[in-house]
């Protein structure tokens, strides 16, 4: 396979720290404003009993409010090495009424809603690297392929700023290129 074919479409990436309780609203606003369809989480909520990232999504059957955005967990699929969560992200007006005039709504009064997928890699050990590469390669391939061409960037985050470990854009792009071979 030619490199040109591999690189003809790779979604752009936006890297960030894992949201804190105080930044959850800003995180979801960024997801909305950047037209993000895929969020990649490569940290646990806790490591060695210490919090690393706040859960920025609601439990099943409930909603999280982030200013004018409402986040609803639609589905949670727990797989061997990662969890795939499906959210409805809905924009509401200042008074709680549904927003109108969006690209996804054709008439006034309809809700402006998007689907966002969170790929949460759960097989990374607290220390070191995964023992086997295949689960990670599969995770990167699946999360990259889930992003439609017309969507905004894939948001990739690891820990909170308390112990933020920089995600190398070049390294993630390299891994994505290798997984498409």
Which sequence positions are flagged as catalytic? 158
Assigned token pair, 158: 């690891």
Crossing angle of helices 169-179/134-145, nearest 10°? Answer: 90
- Report the distance separating Cα 171 and Cα 107, nearest Å: 44
SS3 label, residue 90: strand
- Report the distance separating Cα 109 and Cα 107, nearest Å: 6
Which segments of the chain are extended strands (E)? 13-16, 38-41, 46-47, 50-51, 63-66, 69-78, 82-91, 112-121, 154-157
Kindly report the number of other CB atoms within 10 A of residue 82's CB atom: 23
SS3 label, residue 163: helix
């Amino acid at each position: 396979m030619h490199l040109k074919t591999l690189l003809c479409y790779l979604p752009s990436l936006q890297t960030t720290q894992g949201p804190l309780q105080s930044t959850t609203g800003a995180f979801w606003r960024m997801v909305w404003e950047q037209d993000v369809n895929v969020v990649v989480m490569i940290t646990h909520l806790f490591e060695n009993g210490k919090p690393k990232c706040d859960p920025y999504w609601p439990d099943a059957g409930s909603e999280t409010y982030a200013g004018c955005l409402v986040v609803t967990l639609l589905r949670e699929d727990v797989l061997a090495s990662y969890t795939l969560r499906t959210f409805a992200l809905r924009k509401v007006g200042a008074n709680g009424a549904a927003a109108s005039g969006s690209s996804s709504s054709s008439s006034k009064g309809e809700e402006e809603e998007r689907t966002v997928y969170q790929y949460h890699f759960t097989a990374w050990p607290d220390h070191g690297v995964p023992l086997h590469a295949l689960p990670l390669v599969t995770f990167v391939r699946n999360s990259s392929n889930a992003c439609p061409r017309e969507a905004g960037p894939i948001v990739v985050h690891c820990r909170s700023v308390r112990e933020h470990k920089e995600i190398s854009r070049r390294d993630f792009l390299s891994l994505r290129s290798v997984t498409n071979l």
